[in-house]
Chain A
Amino acid sequence: MTMIFGVPMAVFMGQLTLGLVNGAFYALLSLGLAVIFGLLKIVNFAHGAQYMLGAFAALLGFRYLGINYWLALILVPLVIGGLGMLVERFLLRRIAHLDHLYGLLLTFGLALIFEGTLVNFFGVSGARYATPEILQGGLNLGFMFLPTYRAWVLVAALTMCLFTWFMIERTRLGAYLRAGTENSQLMQAFGVNVPLLITLTYGFGVGLAAFAGVLAAPLYPVSPTMGSSLLIVVFAVVVIGGMGSILGAILTGLGMGIIEGLTKVYYPEAANTVIFLVMILVLMLRPAGLFGKEA
């Protein structure tokens, strides 16, 4: 059997895939965080909860309304994103003129409320969400076994990342967003409805988190706390990548997933901490992050 650095090829590739899939989630979530932070200057602590809400909406939608996975993949981000817009319009906007720390506190409080409410009804043990039939099983690639659903998650997440990149870097609305991130007051003076832009941006970021949540539902147990543990890692990813660049967020997310996955192969004890070690290194050597702009 082929060995890579003393590890069987299949094990190596398996962990690499796992790392890439985790990385895809990091990428989706850190992308949303970066987009929101860019325009609102708020660290959205509710991001993990909104990801969890996405997974829960898929679960409950299937259980009570018979909404299948594919429909959920489209509907849930819209619904949860819409909920995000309400949060921005009626809560975040009211404190926008205050220190941005208040936004952090408010979103953190919201996350606790969302999680607490769901714990109250569903407990913390987590429920299973069935993988859609067409994505069950796997492919034997010869050198490894590739579970179909993981491959799909990778494709779907990367497609969404590229779509987001395209929207932000190549469209007029995206130009508004980039310019608004730099100088929103001047954008107002050009006649751009910046408050509306902010609402849409927050809704979009939340929608991305919910999309990630639906993708995650068949992979991980759907539980009210599934987001909070993930979010800590995602924050580290954002710190490593820096807030500056969309492509940076995507690449850092994938890269950190791979590093984490490979650490599991060679030194499993460090798998849960390796991202934080990288974060410390980056903070020491390049405080603005790998892709961030030096202030």
Chain B
Amino acid sequence: MSIADAAAVDTQAAAPSTHAKPREMLRIKDLHAFYGESHILHGVNFDVKQGELVTLLGRNGAGRSTTLKAIMNMVGRRTGSIVINGQETLAMKPHHIPRLGIGYCPEERGIFSSLDVHENLLLPPTVSSGGMSLDDIYAMFPNLYERRKSQGTRLSGGEQQMLAMARILRTGARLLLLDEITEGLAPVIVQKLGEVLVLLKAQGMTIVLVEQNFRFAAPLADRHFVMDHGQIVEEISAAQLPARREHLNTMLGV
């Protein structure tokens, strides 16, 4: 089955005839996070519905990346509540959380230099069935196929980003946490990533996108959450966006 077929089947399955209200994939309530003594998140609240693509916008240091890390239990200490697919995860061990069907793509991409491209791609264990096959992934990212024997970190920045995305698509994750995937990449690659996200969304993936590049995120997202000082300060739906654009630009300082 090709990627396009998979997308078609999934959109049919997700058609609103059976149930009108989409299920909640992620709900975060009063989340505080600490690195040692420093208090980074000060009561974050937001929710993401199944199949939604939301962004976390904000200036550097607003707590967007920390929010993703806190979801993965990669920060020092957390309080509050993080419910994923109906399950409270605050007390879960870090390696159990991805098995709920989460794929995490870190800001620094985390490509392993001691592994070749193919090994990097196969590294993350499968977390649930229904992930993309290796063939589908290589069809989606032909560059990776050509360079599959290369050392992971020998790839260009864009290729490394493709690899970091591709390897979590293989695992069957249905909730993707993507941290600054367009940072420092050429426009043609950013465009390719945008196409990939549209495709993933069509397949019914739920996506939380931390993004600096607002022009990239704006046409893709259903809702935007603006963060400042470790809190969500504003929620803007796609429909509200045109009217709020000016205001948002000032807030983000772009």
Contact = CB atoms under 8 A, between A and B. Distances in A.
Interface of A: 172, 175-176, 178-179, 181-183, 185-186, 188-194
Interface in B211-235: none
B124 A188 contact: no
Given A185-B74, A186-B106, A192 B112 contact: no
15 contacts: A172-B122, A175-B115, A175-B119, A178-B112, A183-B110, A186-B110, A189-B74, A189-B97, A189-B98, A190-B104, A190-B123, A190-B171, A191-B96, A191-B125, A192-B124
Given A179-B114, A179-B115, A189 B99 contact: no
A190 B167 CA distance: 10
Given A189-B94, A192-B95, 14 more contacts: A175-B122, A178-B112, A181-B114, A182-B114, A183-B110, A185-B74, A185-B94, A188-B94, A188-B95, A189-B97, A189-B106, A191-B98, A191-B124, A192-B125
Interface of B: 72, 74, 94-99, 104, 106, 110, 112-115, 119, 122-125, 127, 168, 171
**10 smallest beta-carbon distances between A and B, as pairs:** A191-B98, A190-B124, A188-B94, A178-B114, A186-B110, A179-B112, A189-B72, A189-B104, A188-B95, A191-B99
Given A178-B112, A178-B114, A179-B114, A190 B125 contact: yes
A181 B119 CA distance: 15
Nearest to B125: A191
Contacts of B72: 188-189
A191 B106 CA distance: 14
B90 to A, nearest CB: 16
Contacts of B125: 190-192
For the residues of A in contact with B, the DSSP-based class is helix
Nearest to A169: B114
A181 B113 CA distance: 11
Contacts of A172: 122
Contacts of A193: 95
Q: Which of B96, B97, B124 has the most CB of A within 10 A?
A: B124
A175 B124 CA distance: 10
A178 B115 CA distance: 7
Contacts of B168: 190
Contact of A175 (B97, B123, B127, B171): B123
Nearest to A193: B95
A189 B107 CA distance: 13
B100 to A, nearest CB: 9
A119 to B, nearest CB: 41
Contacts of A178: 112, 114-115
B98 A183 contact: no
A196 B151 CA distance: 27
Given A179-B114, A182-B112, A183-B110, A191 B95 contact: yes
Contacts of B124: 190-192
A193 to B, nearest CB: 5
A178 B153 CA distance: 14
A202 to B, nearest CB: 18
Contacts of B110: 183, 186
A181 B14 CA distance: 41
Nearest to B68: A189
Contacts of A192: 95, 124-125
Contacts of A194: 95
A190 B112 contact: no
A191 B96 CA distance: 6
Contacts of B96: 191
Contacts of A183: 110, 112
Contacts of B115: 175, 178-179
